[in-house]
Amino acid sequence: MSLKDVRLIELPKIEDPRGSLTFIEQANHIPFEIERVYYIYGIPAGASRGAHAHKKQHEFLIPIAGSFDVLVKDGNLESSYHLDRSSCGLYLPEMVWRDLCNFSMGSICLVLSSGVFDEDDYIREYSEFQKEVEMLS
């Protein structure tokens, strides 16, 4: 995978005087089967999250509240995304390094994942990630 596979996906947003509603349908909006859902919250000022890649899992990050930045790398290139709308999420395929940072106060990041938690699927050292990318090339 490369950074060309990382993309923002707009989700449906229904608005009326009572507020807004956004929904996610696996077959229509997310390019993978959802196996796990988790959320990141209570992030202290200045803290960052992520700092890993997945060998096989795909993820979709949604800023349910607040905002944060996602820095992505594919071993050659890097790009940054600012997530601040709960009707737009970021698709991350396998073998893309991610760092989440610059969380605003009260931020909540909802993550939809294509797999259950599996420590063996994580690459937690960037130098190891670079070696894996080179082997795949």
pLDDT tens digit sequence for 83-116:
999 999 999 999 999 999 999 999 999 999 999 9
Which amino acid, residue 114? S
Task: Give the span between the Cα atoms of 137 and 132, in whole angstroms.
Answer: 9
Domains of the chain by start residue, with CATH: 3-136 (2.60.120.10)
| Predicted local confidence at residue 1, as pLDDT | 66
In 42-95, the DSSP E strands lie at: 49-54, 59-65, 68-73, 78-83, 88-92
Asked if 29 is an active-site residue, the reply is no
pTM confidence score? 0.94
The one catalytic residue among 29, 52, 54, 82: 52
| Predicted local confidence at residue 2, as pLDDT | 80
